[in-house]
Each structure stands twice: as structure tokens, then as C-alpha cells.
Structure 1
Amino acid sequence: MDITLLVSIIVVVALLAVGGFFLVRTRSSVAPGKEETKPEVTQEPKAAPPQEDREREEGAVSKPPAHAPPARDTAAPAPAEPAAPEIETPPPSAGRMVRLRARLARSQSSFGQGLLTLLSAKTLDEDTWEEIEDTLITADIGVTSATQIVENLRTRVKVLGTRDTEEVRGLLRDELLKQLGTDTDRVVRTEPHGDRPAVIMIVGVNGTGKTTTTGKLARVLVGDGRSVVLGAADTFRAAASEQLQTWGSRVGAPVVRKDEGADPASVAFDAVARGIEDGADTVIIDTAGRLHTKTGLMDELGKVKRVVEKKSQVDEVLLVLDATTGQNGLRQARVFAEVVNVTGIALTKLDGTAKGGIIVQVQRELGVPVKLVGLGEGPDDLAPFDPEVFVDAILD
């Protein structure tokens, strides 16, 4: 065989062998649909599990994943501490009735304006004077006081010979002030006696507003810079002590109270003792409402006063009267005055009645001045009674 042909055959065979090798490699690694040989993977050593995984393995409670709802706390939450009530600073007593004058004028306008209209008539005959007297009596001034006012007015109108509106108003104003008494002592005694506080007892029948008046009076005194202790001696009604507690907490006045049915005299005694201990200026004792016809209850009220006086003198016994009760209120006042020596009247609901003449009648019959008047439902609607402001309000 020719040497050249032999070399050519050897070269071709070599080339075919090399090409076949590369073809097989390529198909085994990239050909689709063919099973490829997986490379051997060397296992890396495991990393330490994260903290929460370790806790889970050790039985500890782990935090929930971010997407999971928070776990419900099975333990009952601790009760929240009640917020301390905010201490209020009430307005002082000075000028209270002036600020409430408009309210008083609205409630008493029919009384005052009716009298002015009659007195300004062109002819003041007997029928007109009788109508004036009836108007006064209807306003609960009382027959005696009404008769006296009419007689004085008739004399002065006749002497002056004129019925100008302003002059008539001045005449009527003078007569009403005479009946009310401008020189009457209306001061509520609240000054302590050395180391002993002043003591004020609040008395009256059911429904007149004794507890509310007690709370409002505490606001008046705190507004005037006095320190006050309240005694919840109305132990027949649990609601009364709760109500008084609310009033006291608003102005920072401590309240001495006991369980329902406790001896009222012991509560009053402890209240005065607390006042002495605290160095308070004034102790106000709210007593239970009682019918003036019930002898046993009235005697108990006398006992409360006697027990208190073993600790400190009682400076004021304020009888709370409802201005809308009229003549019945006067009968109540007489009985209370006999039992506990009433020193002053607190007249409530004066803004809700046209019968402000009860002030004149109570003072005339009992010789006891009206010292406080309630002119609304607000906490600061109790005011020291000022006769001139009262008369001007009903005549304006």
C-alpha cells in the first residue's frame, strides 16, 4: 500500500475519534430531554439555629411570627387605678347673686311687673288696690305683710299726687325692702373658734334639696378660701352619702360617712372630730330629711345637735325650704325652729317660682333671716341672699 494513502487513513480515523469524543460530552451535558448526571454536592456544616428556634426547641415561649396575630394573654389584666378627681376652684361668694340676677328677674318678673302695672294705672280705685293686695298675697308675702304694704303705698301715692312709672317703682322698692329688712344680719358664721371649727347643721324635710345645698355651700366656702369637712349624717339613704362624697371630692373636702343605718349622731360627732384633727375652718353636717309631723324623728335631730355640742358649738342651723311649697314651707319652718333653734333659711328653687314673697313671710313669722337662696341647678347657683339685688331684679 502506498505510504501516502496509509497516512491519510490514519489522520481521518484520528479526526473522527476526536470529534466523536466532543460530541458525546456535549450531548450528555446540555441536550434537552436527556437525563443528566447530577454533580456531587458537598454538605456544608449546619449553622447554629436562630435564637427563637433554640427557644422553641428548649420549650421556651417564642415570639409569634410577624404575620401571625398576637397571642392572647390568658391572665386577667390588673385593674387600673382610678384617676384622682380634678379639684375645682369655685367662684367666691361675693357677687354671686348679682351674676344670677338675670335668672332671678326672669322667674319673678310676673310678680314685680304685675304690681308696677297696677300702680301705674290712671285710676287707683278700691278695686285696683284690692288687686294689688291680692297680687302680693298670691306671691306668698302673707296677708299681714300685704296689707301693710298696700296701706303704706296708698298713703305715699296720695301725698305725692303722681304716678310716674319711675316714682311708683321707687315707692314699691322701698316698701318691699322694708319688709325684707336691709339691716338684718344674714352672715353665715363659718369662722373657727381657736382650734375648734365652726359647725353648720343642714336640716329640713325630704325633697327640699338638703344634700345638694350642703354640697353647694361647701363650694361657696371653698371659693372664699375656707377649709371644709363634710359629715354625711343622713344614714337613712345610701345615695345621700354617695352624693355628698361626689360634691366633696370636686372641691377637695373630706367626707365623714358610715354604713347605711348607722347612728346619725355618731357620724356628726366624728365629722367634728375630723374637723378638729385636720384644723378645718368649717364642718357642714347634712342630716336626714324628716317630716315635721314625726315627733320621733324631730327628737333625733335634737339629739344630733346635743351630741355635736359636746365637741364644738353649733354656729348655724340652716333650714332648707323649697320656695314652691308656700304656706306648707312656713309650717315646716315653725316646727324645726322649735326643735333645733334654726338660725337661718336656705331657700331653694327660687328661680322656678313666681312666689318669692315667701321670703318676707318666713322672716316675719319666725324672726329668722333668709341667708342663702338657690337660683338654679348648677353647682354654683347657691348665693348669699341680698335683698336689694332681689328687689331690683323683680322690678326691672
Structure 2
Amino acid sequence: MEIVILAVVIAVVVVGAIGGLVVGSRKKKRLPEAKAPSAAPTITAPPAEPHVGDEAETPRDEARRTIEEVDLPVAEPSASAPVVTEEPPAAPPAPEIETPEPTAGRMVRLRARLSRSQNALGKGLLTLLSREHLDEDTWEEIEDTLLTADVGVAPTQELVERLRERVRVLGTRTPDELRALLREELLHLVGTDFDRVVKTESGLETPGIVMVVGVNGTGKTTTTGKLARVLVADGRSVVLGAADTFRAAAADQLQTWGERVGARTVRGPEGGDPASIAFDAVKEGIAEGADVVLIDTAGRLHTKTGLMDELGKVKRVVEKHAPLDEVLLVLDATTGQNGLVQARVFAEVVDITGIVLTKLDGTAKGGIVVAVQRELGVPVKLVGLGEGADDLAPFEPEAFVDALIGD
């Protein structure tokens, strides 16, 4: 019995001890301090939006004015506001006017350049003629040399016959005698009795009118620009007509050439009527009192009938102002016999009065000068001897033949 009572007492003590520990641990945990109550925050509400029909203020009894009676406020200029003045855009600087090289003796000065590519013909002929025995084979070689240089069949046969006769009469031949003989015969073949002056004086009160024609790719527009330089160098005033409206930038190209020497260019819209532009150019030239009007026409294939007919139309329209003084046909010297076909067709459409041979410095086929003159019966008046602005020269037969046979 005592044992049971003791066990109960022990159990009570144990339970009491456990309970004390739990209470003690709870007392150790600090509760957060209670904050003092603060004042309630002030909330500012946005102003109430006026409702439709609300008025901002109590209406007052005033006399109402019409809109005409209301004076608008006048803005007073601010003393501190700067006055901005817009300056007009600066005009582009005028192109510098160039002074072209004088044309007198220009081809003589360019002879060295010409002879570098041309004297193969002259040297070949001199070598063959210097043989001790001129048999039939040698004369055939001379014929082949001339034909290769695009002299043409008929002129070649004529030259060979004259050379054979003169060599037979001459007998013994020294190099100097052969050179003099060949020079004389080539000059006869090229022709010294042609009038090679570019006609730029009409004899009337109108400017001289020059029309430049040719196929695509012969350097026609460039030749027209260089011809303007030739005329300006000789003291003539020039107006350019950009009647090539089919090739992109042709008018720009011609205008650039003109601006270099102070010549004005008359142009129209791309794809416009060439005859109309040519007509306007002559009209402007008359109004300005210009000495010469140069008309650059569109390059056209000689096989295209419609384009060739249009070229005839340009000529007829221009002649309503005044007759044409020159129709210059531009030919590429490197095209050889094909150039003769082109020349023949152009001559049927317009009356060709002179020939301009371009790229003559880049070919050993200088005989085209002889062939094209024989084909058309008109002289070569100008030759292009390079890419420079002043490399277009009046054709001089003596200088040309001297370049052919070399020094």
C-alpha cells in the first residue's frame, strides 16, 4: 500500500516539474510591443469631374457679344526670343571654264602617237619595195599589206599599178628615193584636193548648223563635245542641242562637255522628240546670236529603217530654220569594212558632207581613210587620236602620211 502511495506522489512531482518547464519557456518568448495608436492618414480625393450640364460658376447677367465684336489677343514679341532668318541655300559653284588647246597644227603634235600604231603599214611597204628583185610574189605581198590595212580593193590595185610603173622607170632605188616615192603615192591616194574645213558659217544671219550622226558606240556624243572645244578654241560661240533622247545620260554627258568651255546645252525630257529638241536648239542659237549650233543625234543601227527615217525627220525639221551646213558621220576606225556599210546607208538618208574617224590611234588599219572617202566621195575632216579632251584634230593628209611611213 505504501508502495502505491509513493508511486503516485512521484508521478505528481514529475508532472508538476514538466508543467513548470513549459510555462517557463513561454515566459521567455517576448511578445511584440504594442505600438501606440497613430493618427489616421489624411486622404485627398481628386477634384470631382464636372458633370455634363454643370457650370463652373453662377451665371452672371451680362450683355452677350457676337463673334465679330470679340477682339483677338495680340501676341507681343518677346524681347528675349531670337529672330531666326533662314538663309537661302548656297548655289553650286559655276564650273571653271577651260581654255581648249589651239587646233592649228594639232595633228602634227599628235603625229608621234599616231605613228606608233600606224607605221606598220608604211614600214611593211618600204621593206617590200626595198627588195632587190620585185617579182610577182613581192607585189602580191604589197597588195596583201594594203588590203589588211583596209585601204580597199580598188584603191589598192590603183596604188600597186602606179608603184610598179614608177619603180620600173626609176631603176636603182635608194631608201630615200623609195620613201619619197611611197609618200607621194600615198598622198595621191589619200587626196590633197579635198576641202576638209568644217563648214560653220551659213552665209546668212543664222548660225552655222552642224548635225552629228552615226551608229551606237562610235563615240558620237564625245565627238560632239570635243568638236565644241575645237570651235571654241578657234574663237566661235557654240550652242549644243542634245537630240539624243534614247540613251540614258547622253544629255548630261553633252552638257558636261559644254559647261567646260562655256557652251549652253538645249535639252528635253528623256525619250522626248529628237526633232523638237533640234528645232529648239537652232531657235535658241538664233536668239542668242551664236556662231554655231551643234546637234548630237541618237546613235542608231544602220539596219533599223524606222530609226533612219527619224534621222531624216530631224534634218527636215531643222531646215525649217536654216539649211544644214554640215552633216558629219562618225565612224569607228577599228570597224574596218563594216564601217563602209554603215556609211553607205547613212549617206542614203542624209547628205553626208564630212567624216569623223574615231579611235584612229588604236588601229594599224589607217587605210580606212582612203576607203571611206572613195565610198562616199566626201572627205575625212576630223580624226580622233586619243581619249583626251583635245585629241580631236582636223585631218591633215601630209601629217597622216608621214605618220604612216614613219621617220
The residue type paired with residue 385 of structure 1 is F
Deviation track 1:265-299 (CA, whole Å, cap 9, x = no partner) reads 00000000010001001000000000101000000
Whether 1:108 and 2:108 are equivalent positions in the alignment is: no
Which residue of the partner structure matches residue 100 of structure 2?
A: 90
Alignment map for 1:16-55 (pairs within 5 Å) = none
Q: How does 1:112-191 map to 2 (within 5 A)?
A: 112-191=122-201
Q: Any idea what SS the aligned residue of 2:325 has? A: strand
Mapped to 2, the partners of 1:91 and 1:351 lie a distance apart of 19
1:336 aligns with 2:315: no
CA positional deviation for 1:121: 1.5
Task: Flag structure 1 segments of 5+ consecutive residues without an equivalent.
Answer: 1-57, 63-74
Find the counterpart in structure 2 of residue 280 from structure 1.
Answer: 290
Contact 2:202–2:325 under 8 Å retained in 1: no
Q: Deviations over 1:30-58 (max 9, x none)?
A: xxxxxxxxxxxxxxxxxxxxxxxxxxxx9
- In structure 2, which of residues 243, 247, 250 is the aligned counterpart of residue 240 of structure 1? 250
Give the equivalent residue in structure 2 for 1:347. 357
- Deviation of 1:80 after TM superposition, in Å, equals 3.8
**What residue identity is the alignment partner of 1:364?**
R
Listed one character per residue, the Cα deviations across residues 67-105 of structure 1 (whole Å, up to 9, x for unaligned) are xxxxxxxx9997542111011111222111111111111
Shift of 1:233: 0.1
Paired with 1:361 and 1:169, the residues of 2 have a C-alpha distance of 22
Distance 1:310 1:129, change over 3 A: same
Distance of 1:195 and 1:290 partners within structure 2: 32
TM norm structure 2: 0.78
Whose Rg is larger? 2
TM-score, L = length of structure 1:
0.80
Q: Are 2:301 and 1:291 equivalent residues in the alignment?
A: yes
Q: How far did residue 61 of structure 1 move?
A: 9.0
- Given that 1:346 and 1:373 are in contact with CA atoms closer than 8 Å, whether structure 2 keeps it comes out as yes
Contact 2:201 2:325 in 1 (8 A): no
The one-letter code matched in structure 2 to 1:180 is V
Instruction: Give 1:366 shift.
Output: 1.2
2:68 aligned residue: none
- Which residue of the partner structure matches residue 384 of structure 2? 374
What is the alpha-carbon root mean square deviation over aligned residues?
A: 1.8
Q: Distance in 2 between matches of 1:219 and 1:128?
A: 46
The one-letter amino acid paired with 1:270 is D
Deviation track 1:111-165 (CA, whole Å, cap 9, x = no partner) reads 1111111111222111111101100000000011111111111111111102211
Residue identity opposite 1:213 in structure 2: T
CA distance in 1: counterparts of 2:172 and 2:296, whole angstroms: 52
Retained in 2: the 8 A contact 1:192–1:281? Answer: no
After superposition, the C-alpha distances for 1:195-220 in whole angstroms (9 at most, x for unaligned) are: 20010000000000110000000000
User: Of 200, 204, 218, which aligns to 1:194?
Assistant: 204
Distance 1:77 1:282 in 2: 40
